[in-house]
Structure 1
Amino acid sequence: MGEYFNWINLDKKEYISPGDFDIGYKGYESVYINNALLCSLKELMGNEWKGSKIIFLGDEYDQSSINIPDMLNVILLDDKFEGNFIDYTYEYFKNVSCKFEAARNDVTEEISIFMERIRRGEKDLVNEYGVDINNPFAGMFGRKGKSYKYTINYSKGVAYCLDTTKIITLDNSVTDNIDPLPVLLGCGRTMQPGEWLGDSVGVSDSLDTGITLLDKIRILW
């Protein structure tokens, strides 16, 4: 099956799931420029997720070998934590894919299954989208996703622009169809920890004073 990835906001305790956008969960399936998942992610990064610590985390990573303690220590020390961090996320974080129109079909199906299980009287169900069982689709699917000119690392004081920053792959070729953000923030068995892990990130259509626009980014791809 391979390793499955999700976008997780460790500060907000929220996540969005590629499968909700009908996009594959494997790392390479989320990298293409302006896909529905990345546009939804970046709308969040331009608003309530702006400045957060975000990770594109795989479900097969070895938590003991990844040196990102500032991001995960609070979670790992939680009395409720046991086993895999992805499993912890599913149980205790909120899936906010449901905010976006692009996730309507898959999320509607998932919530319908959840409501049917409620009606059957099943117990201990995980309400991943945080739905009101009396009005399960209230407030959902109202957002369209958005692309921004700049993706910014506030901690490092740098940014990239897909129009001007060269994205260079392992074979030294320049690609114009890959957004490097999943690689910069990725972490898993099949993806080395990204250079931006643990940093405060966001997006904007303008650059603040003190932010340097990168002329190139090399990705392990």
Structure 2
Amino acid sequence: MSLALYGHPFSSYTQKVLIALYENATPFEFRAVSPETPEHSASWLARWPIGKFPLLVDGGRNIAETSIIIEHLHLHHPGPVRLLPDDPAAALDVRFLDRFFDLHVMDAAQHAVNGALTGDPVKRADGAALSKEKLERAYAWLEGALQGRNWAAGEAFTMADCAASPSLFYADWVHEISGDYPALRAYRSRLLARPAFARAVDEARYFRPYFPLGAPDRD
């Protein structure tokens, strides 16, 4: 098999790439990086000593960083779901939204997770407060940006939605999207109903007890 993906099913960024692969039914081998699979961990670190996953292996090439991985799939393993539009200006909008979800939603939520992982109550509270502040700004902006749209960039499901799916999934666990943002809440629900993301969510259910803030009994 020419494609292999190193990652973990509960990882938001691994899920982002899994969605792209599932959307187009692209054949690949999943190599879970975990204490139970030391051979995968060793191979992954040998290929990418930076130590971040996911990592896509395509023949003799090692491709890191989620947005680059999805663009690589778009170029070299295209399918019926075009994750980037052909029009350069439209593609730029998709790339912007992809970065927005990664940098201003997922990374914002990570402050609370990191604070909880320290075991320090003060750092936990500080991380939660910082996440709330940043996520409220992101939610407010997204509420306006999503008006009249079915998906992040319009009517087509794109790379931006691959990024949005795990970002909003976990961000809502960290700081729940309130009723002040009905368009954003509806968009998150549409993402959860998308078969590719639903599959990624189901594959990671086993790991929910390990979520450091406590996984809510929903989704």
Which TM bucket (shorter chain)? under 0.3
The structure with the greater share of residues assigned to strand is: 1
The structure with the greater share of residues assigned to helix is: 2
Q: Which has the higher contact order (CA 8 A, sep 6+)?
A: 1
